[in-house]
Amino acid sequence: MTRQTFSNPRHVLITGATSGIGAALAQAYAEPGRLLSLTGRDGTRLAAVAESCRKAGAEVVAATLDVCDRERLTRWIEEVHRQRPLDLLIANAGISAGTGGDGETEEQVRRIFAVNGDGVVNSVLPAIDLMRRQGHGQIALMSSLAAFRGFPGAPAYCASKAMVRVWGEALRGVLAPDGIGVSVICPGYIDTPMTRVNRFPMPLLMSSERAARICKRGLARNRARIAFPFPTYFAAWLLGALPPGLTDPLLRRLPAKE
């Protein structure tokens, strides 16, 4: 797959496209001549994002889906691929919770792993099969800077995003001979409905629109890891690299996520 193809995908599929980075990415890729396949759980918000993208000139197919519904999601991905071969899949759908309030319940933990883990797998595997047959394609997996170190305030979220990051980085080497690019996206604090419930300072908070532009630029260059902003990325990387005996006392004092 050529760099030109990476920079100008004709068919982009985005999961979790109803708000936050997912909606901003849909807007960033909306232009004449491009097909956007968008999915999310909130039909009303999804319809609004789809209409906005159509006004920008893009052709849009939208479906209200839960990425945990493996069979239905697979059928939909195969269906939109028949309309136009899939060039770029952005597995963006994800949820968050933490130990604030009543703590991280069993229900929360299982739901986070289901959406952030199984949901990503359910999105990526069908796309791999289709892209292998056509001999090209690109896959982006939405991880987080929280993937570099487990934070006591959000254990399940950190663990799920670590799984996504490591799996994506490993897939890059596996799929390169098939002409498929793989990038892992690791944002810091982004102004989205997910982060607006936080009751603690979020350093270098960034708008979802700016984050989408950074993601799009990195994907056009087929970057292996798109991690930003750099100061937060470096801090997260350093916390993961240092021995837990040094970092645990500090992390225990951090506020818990709601």
The whole-angstrom separation of Cα 7 and Cα 34 is 12
Q: Is 189 a catalytic residue?
A: no
* Tokens matching residue 232: 């937060």
CA-based nearest residue to 183, from 143, 147, 213? 143
Angle 28-114-196 (CA atoms, 0-180°, nearest 5)? 50
Of residues 29, 157, 189, 233, which has the active-site annotation?
Answer: 157
Q: Spell out the residues 6+ positions from residue 12 whose beta carbon is closer than 8 angstroms to its own.
A: 29, 34, 35, 36, 37, 87, 88, 89, 90
Asked if residues 132 and 75 have their Cβ atoms less than 8 Å apart, the reply is no
Asked if residues 134 and 85 have their Cβ atoms less than 8 Å apart, the reply is yes
Strand partners, 186: 227
Residues classed as catalytic = 157
